[in-house]
Amino acid sequence: MKTLQHKFVEFIPDQIDDGVLYVSVEYATAVHKCVCGCGREVITPLSPTDWELTFDGRSVSLYPSIGNWAFECRSHYWITKNKVKHARLWDDSEIDFNRRRDADDKREFYQKGQKSESK
């Protein structure tokens, strides 16, 4: 799969079509089927500590890359301006390191938020 069509929706539909990135701004979520063809649904929450969605009026991009480490396919790719670019596969140590870093980043982000609310 080389491109994804985007559809802005309020609710993610029960039936997810191949080649479509569904975006619910209201619920800060994007969903698509894995681009490797395995058929698994990929959920990308949109938040300051998860994925960032950019819409330029014609296309969408997600940042950072999507690594489906819990899937058997372990696919890894970028979605940039509706185009899919496959990235190299990561080994277990890279995946573990990235998961720890993501958890640390989330913890730090929310701790900063709590500190600023208490001031």
pLDDT (tens digit per residue) in 17-68: 999 999 999 999 999 999 999 999 999 999 999 999 999 999 999 999 999 9
State residue 114's pLDDT score.
Answer: 66
pLDDT tier at 110 (50, 70, 90 boundaries)?
confident
State residue 119's pLDDT score.
Answer: 54
Element (H or E) spanning 96, and its range?
helix 92-118
State residue 115's pLDDT score.
Answer: 63
Q: CA distances (Å), 42 to each of 10, 14, 58, 80, 106, in order?
A: 17, 13, 22, 16, 20
> What predicted TM-score, i.e. pTM, was given to this entire model?
0.88
CA 65 to CA 57: how far, in whole Å?
A: 21
pLDDT in tens, 79-106: 999 999 999 999 999 999 999 999 999 9
Instruction: State yes or no: pLDDT of 117 exceeds 80.
Output: no
